[in-house]
Amino acid sequence: MIANRRVAVVLPAYNAARTLVQTCAEIPRDIVDDVILTDDASRDDTVRIAGELGLHVIRHDRNRGYGGNQKTCYAAALARGADIVVMLHPDYQYTPTLVPAMAAMLASGQYDAVLASRILGRGAIAGGMPRYKYVANRALTLTQNIMMGAKLSEYHSGYRAWTRAVLERLPLERCSDDFVFDNQMLAQAHHLGFRIGEISCPTKYFAEASSINLRRSIVYGLGVLRTAAQYRLHHAGLRRDRLFDADRP
């Protein structure tokens, strides 16, 4: 716990057997009360290894996608009493050692959500981020900041933490089950006025780390731009969008 708040780490997993042990070894269990792994119908030994590590394991009977996996993760964390939920990829691309800092930022009461940004600092390219992804990240982030009236260093980190109040408020069921889920969730949080903080995170790209290919990256980028446009039109009163209308069914 931190400040009497129960901390859960959720691991949305798909074929994570090669990196799961390394990831879990660095999760600071002195402050983390619960580690939940949702397996999205992996074809490797992810579930077996997770069980041997003593994690709370949920297994999808079919692949529901990256966003669908997170929906299960967050619902399970809330059901198991979490006050702070940190979403960490089990592919070891993000360092688990930042969990205490991210959780502490939320426990301080100053923030409702925290992103681990790979862009703050100068380590993105040095850490192996492909240049086309770095350029796309910067271009998409600039566009989103302009269209959404925000000021974040990046919207595309897969390492993030949320308070219980945020997760209970966001209509996550309206978000995509694909990779754009992350972006839609963040846009919803910004729309509802939640305070979003950032912390610098080192970049690690290597063979075992999961990464979407160029085609999927393009699809994701178009989805990001669509989300920003939906946000802009909704806030301008030109088109009410169900994604951002939390009070409507």
Q: What is the DSSP string of 14-42?
A: SS-HHHHHHHHHTS-TTT--EEEEEE-S-
Q: What per-residue string of b and e applies to 120-140 under the rule 16 or more CB within 10 Å gives b?
A: beebbeebebeeebeebbeeb
Q: Is residue 241 part of a domain?
A: no
pLDDT at 247 over 90: no
2 located within any domain: no
Confidence of residue 88 (pLDDT cuts 50, 70, 90): very high
Within a domain: residue 145?
Answer: yes
Lowest mean pLDDT among 9-13, 184-188, 243-247: 243-247
Q: Is residue 74 one of the residues assigned to a domain?
A: yes
pLDDT tens digits, one per residue of 192-205: 999 999 999 998 88
CA 230 to chain centre: 20
The pLDDT of residue 212 is above 80: no
100 lies in which domain range? 7-235
Neighbours of 15 (CB within 10 A): 19
- Structural domain includes residue 1: no
DSSP 3: T
CATH number for the domain that contains residue 162: 3.90.550.10
Whether 174 is covered by a domain: the verdict is yes
Amino acid, res. 249: P
Going by DSSP bridges, is the β-strand pair 84-87/7-13 parallel, antiparallel, or unpaired? Answer: parallel
Q: Which of 159, 152, 220 is nearest to 184 (CA)?
A: 220
pLDDT given at position 126:
80
> Whole-angstrom Cα distance, residue 94 to residue 63?
23
The mean per-residue pLDDT over the stretch 48-75 comes to 98
State the pLDDT confidence band at 210, using cuts at 50, 70 and 90: low
> Is 244 inside a domain boundary?
no
In a domain, 247, yes or no: no
Helices (H), the chain: 17-25, 46-52, 65-79, 99-107, 131-148, 164-169, 181-191, 214-235
Q: How many domains does the chain have?
A: 1
Structure tokens that stand for 185 in this block = 């969730």
Beta carbons of 82 and 106 less than 8 angstroms apart: no
| pTM for this entry | 0.94
